[in-house]
């Protein structure tokens, strides 16, 4: 999951650079001319109008080159980094699988689904921006993003340290299908998969363990600390109700998180000799469920193309608002939930 996060953040750079609008699918000037009725103007006037229309149309060819080269650069850069950071220090092996579905109370699996959903959403938007139609954009965007993530799993399958994880692969496929099925069926994302995180505070006796597992910097903790992460299914209410006057930007979100995790399966660690180096099995590991309002930032109207692009990108993250938490048989009220 952390490897797919790397790809996602590199992709965000390409997306932010190339997009000049959040939707990026229509050129207003071109649409205006397209709706005009033919007029009995002279050939000279017609020629001038045709030249004007041509000059206002986006240069889709250059956009395709930009997105294609940018995507290839992201793929190549991330593979080089992954080889240096993850695989280089470990021996290779024949292809094998391993079952890690029980680790981290499935938080890492949902993280895989979110990464696949979000990269699919961004890459689809990129290819639509280049003028590609829906089916082409789904193939070149979410399709190639899924292929990339499964390629990482394949590399894991040839590493003695890891292995091909059917759980990870299934989560990648689930995230991709969540986006693609909605785009094909509804031509919009009525149900969005979002992410939020906060800085978890640890008891002084646990700080060294937390630093070893999750890192020390804000960046590392955001990516690695499953105790601090929450994943949300955010439902756009009016896309189902279709009521005039109801705010189109208002969503209802259901969240999932977990706490008390200081190890993949249990709060216990051993060294290479089998000696126990950390044992805090007294700390309960538990799941958290949330309900909260949310905001669909893509429904906020703006004529500013840069702002629309920023809102489109930020919509991958849950907007911090009050929430109810259900865990350990109790209900907690959060003034602001991240």
Query: What is the per-residue pLDDT across 7-61, written as a single tens digit (0 to 9) for each?
Result: 565 555 555 555 543 344 443 333 333 444 444 555 544 554 555 545 566 888 9
The reply to whether 303 and 266 lie within a common domain is yes
Residues 62 and 113 in one domain: yes
Residues 28 and 171 in one domain: yes
The per-residue pLDDT for 262 is: 97
Mark which of 137, 155, 187 sits at the end of a domain.
187
Q: Look at residues 284, 277, 273, 244 and name the one whose alpha carbon lies nearest to residue 105.
A: 284
Task: Give residues with Cβ within 8 angstroms of 161, minimum separation 6.
Answer: 90
* pLDDT at residue 28 in the model: 37
pLDDT score at 74: 86
* pLDDT at position 260: 96
Surface-to-core class of residue 334, CB atoms within 10 Å of its CB (0-12 exposed, 13-18 middle, 19+ buried)? middle
For residues 9 and 151, the answer to whether their CB atoms sit within 8 Å is no
Q: Which residue has the tokens 């050129």?
A: 27
Same domain (yes/no): 162, 243: no
Residues 203 and 224 in one domain: yes
- Residues of the chain with confidence (pLDDT) below 70: 1-57, 85
Do both 243 and 211 map to the same domain? yes
Is there a single domain that holds both residue 328 and residue 223? yes
Residues written for the chain? 338
For residues 93 and 216, state if they share a domain: no
Looking at 130, 165, 187, which one is the last position of a domain? Answer: 187
Report the 10 Å Cβ neighbour count for 55.
8
Residues 253 and 177 in one domain: no
Query: Looking at residue 52, what is its pLDDT?
Result: 52
Considering the domain architecture, whether residues 248 and 172 belong to the same structural domain is answered as no
Query: In terms of domains, do 134 and 199 share one?
Result: no
Residue that is last in its domain, among 187, 214, 236: 187
∠ CA 59-311-147, nearest 5°, is 65
User: Which pLDDT score, from 0 to 100, does residue 160 have?
Assistant: 84
Query: What is the sign of the dihedral through the CA atoms of 314, 202, 278 and 287?
Result: negative
Containing structural domain, residue 124: 1-187
The rounded distance, in Å, linking the Cα atoms of 312 and 296 is 9
- Given this model, what pLDDT does residue 30 score? 38
Instruction: Give the sheet arrangement for strand 191-197, strand by strand.
Output: 191-197, 229-236, 250-259, 286-295, 321-327, 330-337
Give the pLDDT confidence score for residue 213 in this predicted structure: 93
What is the domain count for the chain?
2
In this structure, the answer to whether residues 241 and 155 fall within a common structural domain is: no
DSSP 8-state code for residue 178: H
């Amino acid at each position: 999951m952390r490897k797919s996060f790397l790809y996602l953040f590199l992709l965000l750079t390409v997306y932010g650079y190339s997009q000049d609008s959040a939707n990026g699918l229509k050129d207003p000037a071109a649409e205006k001319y397209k709706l005009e009725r033919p007029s009995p103007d002279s050939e000279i006037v017609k020629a001038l109008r045709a030249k004007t229309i041509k000059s206002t149309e986006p240069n889709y060819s250059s956009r395709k080159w930009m997105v294609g080269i940018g995507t290839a650069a992201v793929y190549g850069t991330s593979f080089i980094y992954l080889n240096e950071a993850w695989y280089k220090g470990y021996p290779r092996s024949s292809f094998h699988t391993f079952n890690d579905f029980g680790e981290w109370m499935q938080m890492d699996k949902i993280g895989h689904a979110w990464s696949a959903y979000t990269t699919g959403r961004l890459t689809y938007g990129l290819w639509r921006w280049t003028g590609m139609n829906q089916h082409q954009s789904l193939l070149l965007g979410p399709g190639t993003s899924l292929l990339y993530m499964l390629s990482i799993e394949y590399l894991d399958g040839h590493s003695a340290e890891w292995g091909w994880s059917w759980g990870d692969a299934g989560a990648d496929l689930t995230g991709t299908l969540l986006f693609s099925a909605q785009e094909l069926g509804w031509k919009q994302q009525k149900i969005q998969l979002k992410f939020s995180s906060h800085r978890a505070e640890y008891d002084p006796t646990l700080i060294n363990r937390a630093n070893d597992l999750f890192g020390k910097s804000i960046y590392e903790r955001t990516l690695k600390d499953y105790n601090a992460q929450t994943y949300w299914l955010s439902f756009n209410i009016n896309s189902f109700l279709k009521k005039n006057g109801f705010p189109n930007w208002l969503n209802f979100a259901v969240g999932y998180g977990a706490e008390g995790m200081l190890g993949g399966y249990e709060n216990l660690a051993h060294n290479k000799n089998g000696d126990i180096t950390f044992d805090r099995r007294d700390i309960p590991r538990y799941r958290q469920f949330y309900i909260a309002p949310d905001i669909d930032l893509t429904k906020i109207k703006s004529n500013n193309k840069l702002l629309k692009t920023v809102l489109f990108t930020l919509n991958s993250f849950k907007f911090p608002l009050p929430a109810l938490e259900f865990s350990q048989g109790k209900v907690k009220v959060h003034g602001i939930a991240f």
